[in-house]
Amino acid sequence: MGLSVPAVAVLLVVLLCLDPHGRVGSAPICAHGSSGCHVPSLADLFDRVIQHSARMHSLSNDLHSEFEQYFLPSKNHIRKIYRKCHTSNILTPNGKENAQKLAREELTEVILKLLMAWRDPLFQLHQSMAHQQDFNSFSSNKALEMGDMAHELRKGVEKVAEKMRVLGMLGNSVTGLSAAEAMLPLSDSGEAMSDYELLYCFRRDSNKVQNYLKILKCRIVPEHDC
């Protein structure tokens, strides 16, 4: 039996509300006055980006552990590899107490700067791993997935920031990195950072992003799991 015109219209609205990919930056499309669509609250948006950041950090942990287990000769070599991450020039609060002291705009800006700073380096990491026979395609694909996740997370955080601005909780002063600041990272010696250095630094920064998002959420919507 065929569907009536009203039934078809309702079905289309429902389909538009669904997000088949589960991307953190996506939002349902709701026609004016339509029922059945759920516009996410600020708490919902925070939950999405925090969950996404947790998955991203977990993936970075996995790949970092794989690298240590299979490709580094000794723990002494591990300690000598890294000295300074390319994101060290981004001033980040050390510890929960200091992060809580930052204004909302400052903490949001730190999160966005960290995510933007990894756009090109994660692509560089994937390209490097893909062209080395020592790495299997599974590990290389993990590096690619981390890059995609960082990009989606940045878009999700931008949506959170926009929602806060609309609600009057955030000013318009939040900015990202300049083109010069987002250049590919170099080590202290001026050479391109090794794959392991990039993995170590990304694992560190992804943990920071996850913690900062949790702190920011608790300051904005303290009634939710704080």
- Confidence label for 225 from pLDDT (cuts 50, 70 and 90): low
Nearest to 181 by CA among 88, 59, 97, 78: 88
Angle at 88 between CA 80 and CA 25, to 5 degrees: 115
Which domains are delineated in the chain? 41-72+85-181+193-220 (1.20.1250.10)
Nearest to 115 by CA among 47, 192, 56: 56
Angle at 95 between CA 145 and CA 79, to 5 degrees: 65
Using the structure block, give the residue that is written with the tokens 């994937």: 126
Q: How far apart are CA 199 and CA 127, in angstroms?
A: 14
Span 94-134, pLDDT tens digits: 988 999 999 999 999 999 999 999 988 898 888 887 776 66
Q: How far apart are CA 143 and CA 149, in angstroms?
A: 10
Span 54-103, pLDDT tens digits: 999 999 999 888 877 766 655 555 555 555 788 888 899 998 899 999 99
Q: How far apart are CA 41 and CA 32, in angstroms?
A: 17
